[in-house]
């Protein structure tokens, strides 16, 4: 088995997580543990979710992620490479499409859409 090597800053993917109430902090922690992702920002319309998410993470990043209340500001950040969409189901399609339009890579929690029309 090969040893795990340090990932350089240019090889790390800067991630913004949209939706911190349930799955957001769990996915963020899993990504962080790989060493390949930098948690750049947490986004939730409820500001109480930021502290709660950091508190519930067993492994915490050295640098705390920024907190953003409006996901559109997160999408405007050119330093964010990818987003995790862990919002309520009826927001999945909207967040995903706008993130893709902004040139971000997207990991979206299932279901991808709320209804067949989306």
pTM of the complete model: 0.85
ω into 111 cis (within 30 of 0): yes
pLDDT surpasses 60 at 6:
no
The tens digit of pLDDT for each residue in 73-108 reads 999 999 999 999 999 988 899 999 999 999 999 999
| Length of the chain counted residue by residue | 118
Q: What is the mean pLDDT of residues 7-31?
A: 86
Give the integer Cα–Cα distance in Å for 58 and 43: 19
Percentage of residues of the chain with pLDDT beyond 90: 65
Average pLDDT score over residue span 4-32:
83
| Average pLDDT score over residue span 53-71 | 91
């Amino acid at each position: 088995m090969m040893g795990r090597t340090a990932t350089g800053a240019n090889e790390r993917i800067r991630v913004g997580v949209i939706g911190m109430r349930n799955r957001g902090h769990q996915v963020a922690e899993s990504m962080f543990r790989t060493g390949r992702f930098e948690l750049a920002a947490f986004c939730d319309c409820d500001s109480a979710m930021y502290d709660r998410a950091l508190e519930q993470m067993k492994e915490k990043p050295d640098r705390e992620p920024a907190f953003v209340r409006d996901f559109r500001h997160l999408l405007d950040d050119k330093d964010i490479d990818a987003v995790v969409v862990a919002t309520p189901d009826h927001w999945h399609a909207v967040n995903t499409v706008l993130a893709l339009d902004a040139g971000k890579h997207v990991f979206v929690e299932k279901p991808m859409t709320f209804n067949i029309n989306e």
